[in-house]
């Protein structure tokens, strides 16, 4: 007697999770990056104390060169776009660059504080999967 095994069906999330989960992740990311980007208004003249070691050296250069102004303005723009649900793929591309830099910083200079960047990256993938068609078009020829 020969047994046949049917191929497993793909599991799709319930409709309410697909609808509200993406919106919740988009809004959470929007809030985090709007607040982080908006912090430039308060920190420009008074940066927080730098962490010890190599991370502190990087931190000092980041603030002394005013590079933080550019990064925070990009975070603010992307966060607002996510909150108002406009140009979401563009906002996700902006945040991909920011998140890559945040992850590299934490992996190389401050690995003990990597939890939040990993959570934010996981949250990024939720709306990114929803908007995968326009994001994948960035990697097509022509």
Do residues 130 and 25 lie in contact, with contact meaning Cβ atoms separated by under 8 Å? no
Average pLDDT, the chain: 90
Lowest mean pLDDT among 2-16, 19-33, 48-62, 67-81: 2-16
pLDDT at 18: 74
Do residues 109 and 54 lie in contact, with contact meaning Cβ atoms separated by under 8 Å? yes
What sign does the CA torsion over 63, 66, 71, 77 have? positive
- 51 sits in which H/E element: none
- Among 9, 8, 25, 11, smallest CA distance to 129 is for 25
How many whole angstroms separate alpha carbon 25 and alpha carbon 127? 7
Grade residue 14 by pLDDT with cuts at 50, 70 and 90: confident
For residues 77-95, give the mean pLDDT: 98
């Amino acid at each position: 007697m020969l047994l046949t095994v049917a191929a497993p069906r793909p599991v799709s999330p319930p409709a309410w999770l697909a609808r509200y989960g993406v919106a919740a992740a988009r809004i959470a990311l929007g809030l985090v990056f709007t607040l982080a980007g908006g912090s430039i208004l308060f920190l420009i003249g008074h940066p927080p104390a730098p962490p010890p070691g190599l991370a502190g050296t990087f931190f000092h250069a980041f603030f002394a060169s005013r590079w933080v102004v550019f990064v925070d303005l990009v975070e603010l723009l992307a966060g607002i776009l996510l909150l108002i649900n406009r140009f979401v793929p563009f906002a996700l591309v902006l945040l991909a660059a920011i998140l890559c830099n945040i992850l590299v910083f934490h992996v190389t200079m401050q690995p003990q504080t990597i939890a939040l960047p990993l959570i934010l990256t996981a949250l990024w993938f939720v709306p990114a999967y929803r908007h995968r068609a326009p994001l994948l078009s960035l990697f097509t020829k022509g």
